[in-house]
Structure 1
Amino acid sequence: MLLGCSCPYAQRAWIALEELGLAYTTTLIDATNKAEDFKVLYASIVQNTEDPAKVPTIVDGDTKLTESLVIVEYLDAKYGGKKGLLPKDPVQLAQVKLFVELFTNKFSSYIYKMLSATSEEEVNTLGRALEHNLTVLDKFITASGSREGGTYFLGGRYSYAETVTTPFLRRALLVLKAHRGFDILDLASSNGLNRLLQWIQASLDRESNKSTGPSDEQIVQSAKKWLGAALPDYQYKSAGAA
């Protein structure tokens, strides 16, 4: 598998490989100086030499794929068996996929928005929306997930719900606190979002999360480099702050 060190999309595929217990090799791609053979491989998959080559990209025998969700679902369909990442029960499958959609729209999309905000007012507006969305996620996990046997979305069963969201969860926890003063864990705790907190902790504690992707320091520094020295470090002030 070809991946970028700090890329959350690549970590999705990496986690899937770990969770499915597959043998694999990885090659790190330098985003600023992509190797020609990687560009050729990517172009052969998407049939377009004009598209910039992206990670993750995998080669599995004669099968060559890109796009993180496509890769995770392919690996699960081929190697997951009866206990794969995607539930076989149609209701659970729909709930898991709806959770991922909600997480993307209500949570992970705010990482980029808050980091790229150009005023304290914009940071506060986005932060208050995200603070509200934490409550939405807590309510959804409580209503559509399960508490039976554990604290993952499906209770005791780790699934696609965690595989494809944990890389973004981890980055949001680190970079929004470091660069925008938005402490997700503190806000969730102060708002009594216990089910969300349980899910966050279970996701972060999973060994596949710990053994893949960059270090916490690399994530924070990567965001700092992306922000640029010229961009002010605007800090979030919640509605209840003095």
Structure 2
Amino acid sequence: MSLTLYGHPFSSYTWKVLIPLYENGTPFTLANVDPSNAGAYERLAEMWPVARFPLLVDGDKPVMESSAIIEHLQNRYPGPVRMIPADPDAAVEVRMLDRIFDNQVMGQMQRVVNDALRPPERRDAVEVAEAKAMLDKIYGWLDQWLEGREWAAAGQFSLADCAAAPSLFYADWTHEIPAAFANLRAYRARLLARPSMARAVDEARPYRAYFPLGAPDRD
């Protein structure tokens, strides 16, 4: 087995794949695409012209997109923590929450971050306000969904939680989860306490200056 993950320690979608790798103790090499690591980003771009990460290389086979990578790992390198349940109905619930966290939480957070990365004359206050309003809506829905649940879906730690952990981490930095949403805040805290997530957070600490909104003095 030879697994190489092209990604960045501060990247939310890289975290999403690192978490199941750490959960199952799967051996791999991280090819850090940070500019300080010469050549890694260029090798990524040769294999995947859009140069989006993470990208997993299994032997000579590249696998793109975080959810697909996690499913590939489960199929080829199963471990004690199963990320997608065998039961088809439970698997649908897990995949549904995976998409909700990626699209409705991470996607809205990214709109605010992207605005902050633009030159001041190109920033769009309306875009930011719309994104934050959408985050408030999905925070409220998730708070209700999580009532009585330890993990996001199917009664187990899964792909859905791998998506939730980085999306809620950065979304809360971008537009803080209101105190009224106690279920969601408690769920985020449980994710941060999970050793796999805690490891990803700690490995990313040297890069916090990259966060364009300014990393808060917490987490």
Q: Which AA in structure 1 matches 2:144?
A: K
Residues 110 and 126 of structure 1 are in contact (CA less than 8 Å); yes or no, is this contact kept in structure 2? yes
Q: Tell me the number of residue pairs that the alignment of Structure 1 and Structure 2 aligns.
A: 202
Q: In the superposition, relative to structure 1, how do residues 114 and 61 fare at CA in structure 2: closer, same or farther (>3 Å)?
A: closer
Cross-structure match for 1:235: none
DSSP 3-state at the match of 2:146:
helix
User: Which protein is bigger by CA-based radius of gyration?
Assistant: 1
DSSP 3-state at the match of 2:151:
coil
Pairing 1:167–2:166 present: yes
Residues 3 and 10 of structure 1 are in contact (CA less than 8 Å); yes or no, is this contact kept in structure 2? yes
Q: Counterparts in 2 of 1:42-121, with a 5 A limit?
A: 42-44=45-47, 46=48, 51-80=49-78, 83-115=81-113, 116=115, 118-120=123-125
- The Cα offsets for residues 140-176 of structure 1, whole Å up to 9 and x where unpaired, read as 334xxx63xxx112476211111123122212222x1
Q: What is the root-mean-square deviation in Å for CA atoms of aligned residues?
A: 2.9
Q: In the superposition, relative to structure 1, how do residues 208 and 105 fare at CA in structure 2: closer, same or farther (>3 Å)?
A: same
Residues 6 and 30 of structure 2 are in contact (CA less than 8 Å); yes or no, is this contact kept in structure 1? yes
- The Cα offsets for residues 13-59 of structure 1, whole Å up to 9 and x where unpaired, read as 21121112112222211358862x76456534x5xxxx243322223
Pairing 1:152–2:151 present: yes
Gaps of 5+ in 1: 177-181, 229-242
DSSP 3-state at the match of 2:20:
helix
Q: Counterparts in 2 of 1:1-242, with a 5 A limit?
A: 1-31=5-35, 35=39, 39-40=42-43, 42-44=45-47, 46=48, 51-80=49-78, 83-115=81-113, 116=115, 118-120=123-125, 122-142=127-147, 147=149, 151-154=150-153, 157-174=156-173, 176=174, 182-184=175-177, 187=178, 189-190=179-180, 193-213=181-201, 214-216=203-205, 218-219=207-208, 221-224=209-212
Residues 103 and 137 of structure 1 are in contact (CA less than 8 Å); yes or no, is this contact kept in structure 2? no
Provide the identity percentage.
24
Q: Which AA in structure 2 matches 1:158?
A: F
Residues 112 and 128 of structure 2 are in contact (CA less than 8 Å); yes or no, is this contact kept in structure 1? yes
Cross-structure match for 2:119: none
TM-score by length of 2: 0.77
TM-score by length of 1: 0.70
Gaps of 5+ in 2: 117-122, 215-219
